[in-house]
Amino acid sequence: MIKLSGYGRIAVVPAENAELTRVGAGTPMGEVLRRYWQPVCLASDIEELPKLVRILGEELVAFRDKSGRVGVLDAHCAHRGASLEYGRIEARGIRCCYHGWLFSVGGECLEQPGEPPDSTFCSKVSQPAYPAREFGGLVFAYMGPPDKEPVFPRFDNLEKPGWELFAYRNMSRGAVAECNWLQIQENAMDPVHTAFLHSTISTQQFSDIYATLPQLDFAETDYGMKYVRSAKLPSGRTFVRVQENYTPNMRSIADNLTPDRPYADGANLIGWWVPVDDTHTLGFHIEAYDPNDKEKVSTFARAKEGRTAGTQEKHRSYEDTQRHPDDKEAQVSQRPIAVHALERLGTTDRGVILFRKILRRALKDVSEGRDPQNVFRDPERCQIKVVSGNTVS
Ligand code: FES
Ligand SMILES: [Fe+2]
């Protein structure tokens, strides 16, 4: 048996895996993440006022002008840097509070009311802007090189005839998760933890059938990877759960209150873990629901801040979190940025290992001038086919 003293262990601390985790402009993963449309806020956040957001380490202001167009601009006014979060929303754009410069959603300077009437200075100035659009109740921005802007992806589970979409913040790791994006995103490819963290360790946080230790299988897909988690239940039935991660920071998840009876259901939501910066992360979901069955939203949509399932009470105290830890406690406590060099990966970590390999491939693709996985160019071929789901048979 290997015995290790704690003495000296912090004398030399290995660096985190900067290549996979850092998200700033010009960093390898920061450049990969900037090749995709990223959610920046809820559409309902910008009904009347602008919204200051920090995404990939950049301060931005999202807003909807009074003509209904959505914009995502650099937060700091091109004139002398006042934040446009204090700007006034108008029909043609947003007017900076300080000296009244007016900018369109595309960042054109439309007015400089303090300059002489015959000035042409306005045409020489613009506010840095990103392409922005709404989908399913979220505002998305494309923050990458202008000539690399991809087609907006389609997800077939969000296109069910007659179903409607709604969006919400995934606050299961806190309103803003105080850790790097990758440890949360890769948790989705670590299905064995549902038998421990969410079952035998904390008490049953999902339905009972997650407590049975599963067989694990992992495979690459056209869009990233999936796990297949199979468990032979005490009832004699077999429970199979499939879940997918899509390169780089998207995923689909089926509900986790799966009953112990013959049952089959697919994932009705798509989730994003969006880096605020290297050590803070925002969760967003778009979920499809049958309007004739309003109650049938997923357990994730009903979850309280800091909890994963809709059936759980909010943690009231630190002691609560120690007695009944959840995803937030497990993943945020891996350190602000989990240090891969300190990990001891076992056989159940095959999914995490594979996901990192897929991300390294995306890094290589971008660094060598290719489009990474899920950057679509053809509007006829931009659909992600979702296979996540639960079956009990
Ligand atoms: S700082 Fe915005 S108009 Fe002057
Ligand atoms: Fe979990």
Q: What is the pLDDT of residues 167-215, one digit of tens each?
A: 999 999 999 999 999 999 999 999 999 999 999 898 888 999 999 999 9
Taking the CA of 193 as reference, the closest ligand is 2
Is 90 in the same domain as 201? no
**Cβ < 6 Å from ligand 1: which residues?**
77, 79-82, 96, 98-101
Instruction: Give the pLDDT confidence of 63-117 residue by residue, as tens digits.
Output: 999 999 999 999 999 999 999 999 999 999 999 999 999 999 999 999 999 999 9
pLDDT computed for residue 208 by the predictor: 92
Q: Is residue 25 part of a domain?
A: no
Taking the CA of 331 as reference, the closest ligand is 2
Percent of the chain with pLDDT over 90: 91
Is 187 in the same domain as 283? yes
Give residue 78 CA to ligand 1 midpoint distance, Å: 7
Q: Is residue 229 part of a domain?
A: yes
Domain at 181, CATH number = 3.90.380
Give residue 99 CA to ligand 1 midpoint distance, Å: 5
* The ligand 1 atom nearest the CA atom of 77: 2
Q: Report d(CA 142, CA 135) in Å as an integer.
A: 13
Closest protein CA for atom 3 of ligand 1: 99
Domain at 124, CATH number = 2.102.10.10
Is 348 in the same domain as 249? yes
Give residue 130 CA to ligand 1 midpoint distance, Å: 19
Is 115 in the same domain as 220? no
* pTM for this prediction: 0.96
Cis peptide bond prior to 248, omega within 30° of 0: yes
Q: Is residue 182 part of a domain?
A: yes
Q: Report d(CA 339, CA 184) in Å as an integer.
A: 14
Q: Is residue 300 part of a domain?
A: yes
Is 58 in the same domain as 189? no
Please give the residue range of the domain that contains residue 101: 38-148
Taking the CA of 81 as reference, the closest ligand is 1
Is 100 in the same domain as 234? no
Is 122 in the same domain as 88? yes
Give residue 121 CA to ligand 1 midpoint distance, Å: 14
Domain's final residue, options 109, 130, 148: 148
* The ligand 1 atom nearest the CA atom of 101: 3
Domain's final residue, options 148, 163, 198: 148
Q: Is residue 11 part of a domain?
A: no
Q: Is residue 26 part of a domain?
A: no
Q: Report d(CA 98, CA 151) in Å as an integer.
A: 37
Is 132 in the same domain as 178? no
- Angstrom CA distances, 187 to 184, 191, 192, 219, 273, stand at 5, 8, 10, 16, 11
Percent of the chain with pLDDT over 70: 100
* The ligand 1 atom nearest the CA atom of 100: 3
Q: Is residue 8 part of a domain?
A: no
Q: Is residue 291 part of a domain?
A: yes
For the chain, how many structural domains are there in total? 2
